[in-house]
């Protein structure tokens, strides 16, 4: 048997070379992507290795002659069926194992392999945290520049430190305001299950207890009796006035009633905001009232769903993100992706149900810490 190993820059080129050298009857035994060349582990080129073979003395099958069917002993039939069943079971078991392994192994972008190993380790950490591939590659290029400029061989801890500083710098241009720095009227919007009402109570408690502001509450969430009762309980505990607005007229009257207050916080319904009509309803309710809108997003939700919600709320529009349920996940890359992709800042990050304790002010340093948090850092 004639066996050849072919290396070419593309798979198409490799297959063409196999055909030229071995002919149309060649059989591909194995193929894989390889990297070779480069200098000091850098600038390696991607190539394809193909192992092909051609049997120079093929066994030509004899023409079949129709004979009388021989009677095979029953025991032999049983043994053949058992052997076939055993092979099939083994194949199915191996396929099931392979599928299970593929589900647990996260895809590694090819570009990560082009970087020195300490940088690769950092970029893989970002991937594990669900930072988008585009951002990982951009951060990787900046890390490589620092690597080249380093007077001494950098260690992994150095690379992670550089990465944190790069992330802080990229997050820096956006605003990170706390409650005492915002406008008088603030409304909290977001999808069902984002924890808006509890978060609104936390904002009210911070404003009252830490900044000594006169705070009033308005709710336009008239779809859920439980939400109104929950907000009433918080209002009683903090001794704050609360108005319920069923329509735009009620909302306008509540705004007039609280004209002398320092801060008015507005709770909204947890509806399916993948439907644009609900966003338009809110916009109509608020009218011309000058306010700041905080979009509450649970970080435990799938990022694709978060992106749909963000795109729909561009119609309102919203001013800041308010990330909730950070205690319910270990993947914080979505925070970084959403901030950079939408060029919006953040107010707070909530970490539990306790009012007002489980809420921290957001900052570029805080976001970077969440994404890069690791025992090896």
Q: What is the DSSP string of 147-164?
A: HHH-SSPPPHHHHHHHHH
Average pLDDT (345-360) is 90
103-124 pLDDT, tens digit per residue, is 444 555 667 878 888 888 899 9
- Phi, psi of 361, rounded to the nearest 5 degrees: -70, 135
Tokens describing residue 154: 């950098």
| Residue-wise pLDDT tens digits, 170-194 | 999 999 999 999 999 999 998 888 8
Identify whether the C-beta of residue 294 lies closer than 8 Å to the C-beta of residue 177: no
User: What length does the chain have?
Assistant: 377
Q: Which two tokens stand for residue 324?
A: 């909730």
List, in order, residues 6 or more apart from 212 with CB less than 8 Å away: none
Residue 347 tokens read as 């107010």
Tokens matching residue 161: 């430190």
Backbone angles phi, psi at 272, to 5 degrees: -80, 90
Residues 253-280: tens digit of each pLDDT: 999 999 999 999 999 876 655 566 677 7
Whole-number Å distance between alpha carbons of 207 and 193: 24
Helix pair angle (117-128, 133-149), 10° resolution = 150
What's this model's pTM, rounded to 2 decimal places? 0.68
The SS3 of residue 16 is helix
């Amino acid at each position: 048997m004639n066996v050849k190993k072919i290396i070419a820059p593309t798979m198409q080129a490799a297959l063409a070379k196999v055909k030229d050298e071995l002919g149309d009857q060649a059989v591909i035994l194995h193929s894989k992507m390889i990297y070779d060349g480069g200098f000091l582990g850098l600038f390696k080129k991607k190539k394809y290795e193909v192992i092909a073979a051609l049997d120079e003395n093929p066994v030509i099958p004899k023409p079949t002659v129709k004979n009388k069917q021989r009677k095979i002993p029953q025991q032999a039939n049983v043994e053949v069926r058992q052997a076939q069943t055993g092979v099939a079971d083994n194949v199915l078991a191996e396929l099931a194992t392979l599928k299970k392994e593929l589900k647990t192994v996260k895809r590694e972008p090819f570009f990560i392999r082009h970087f020195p190993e300490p940088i690769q380790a950092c970029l893989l950490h970002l991937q594990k945290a669900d930072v988008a591939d585009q951002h990982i590659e951009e951060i990787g290029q900046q890390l490589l520049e620092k690597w080249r400029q380093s007077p001494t061989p950098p260690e992994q801890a150095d690379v992670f430190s550089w990465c944190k500083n790069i992330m802080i710098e990229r997050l820096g241009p956006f605003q990170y305001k706390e409650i005492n720095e915002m406008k008088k009227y603030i409304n909290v919007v977001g999808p069902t299950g984002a924890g808006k009402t509890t978060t609104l109570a936390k904002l009210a408690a911070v404003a009252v207890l830490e900044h000594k502001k006169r705070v009033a509450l308005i709710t336009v969430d008239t779809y859920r009796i439980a939400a109104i009762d929950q907000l009433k309980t918080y209002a009683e505990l903090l001794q704050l006035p609360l108005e319920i607005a069923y329509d735009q007229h009620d909302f306008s009257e509540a705004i007039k009633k609280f004209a002398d207050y320092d801060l008015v916080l507005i709770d909204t319904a947890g509806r399916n905001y993948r439907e644009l009509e609900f966003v338009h309803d809110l916009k109509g309710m608020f009218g011309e009232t000058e306010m700041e809108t905080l979009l509450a997003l649970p970080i435990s939700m799938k990022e694709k769903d978060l992106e749909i919600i963000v795109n729909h709320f561009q119609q309102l529009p919203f001013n800041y993100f308010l990330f909730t349920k950070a205690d319910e996940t270990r993947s914080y890359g979505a925070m970084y992706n959403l901030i950079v992709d939408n060029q919006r800042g953040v107010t707070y990050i909530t970490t539990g149900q306790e009012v007002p304790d489980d809420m921290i002010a957001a900052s570029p340093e805080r976001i970077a810490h969440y994404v890069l948090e690791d025992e090896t850092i």
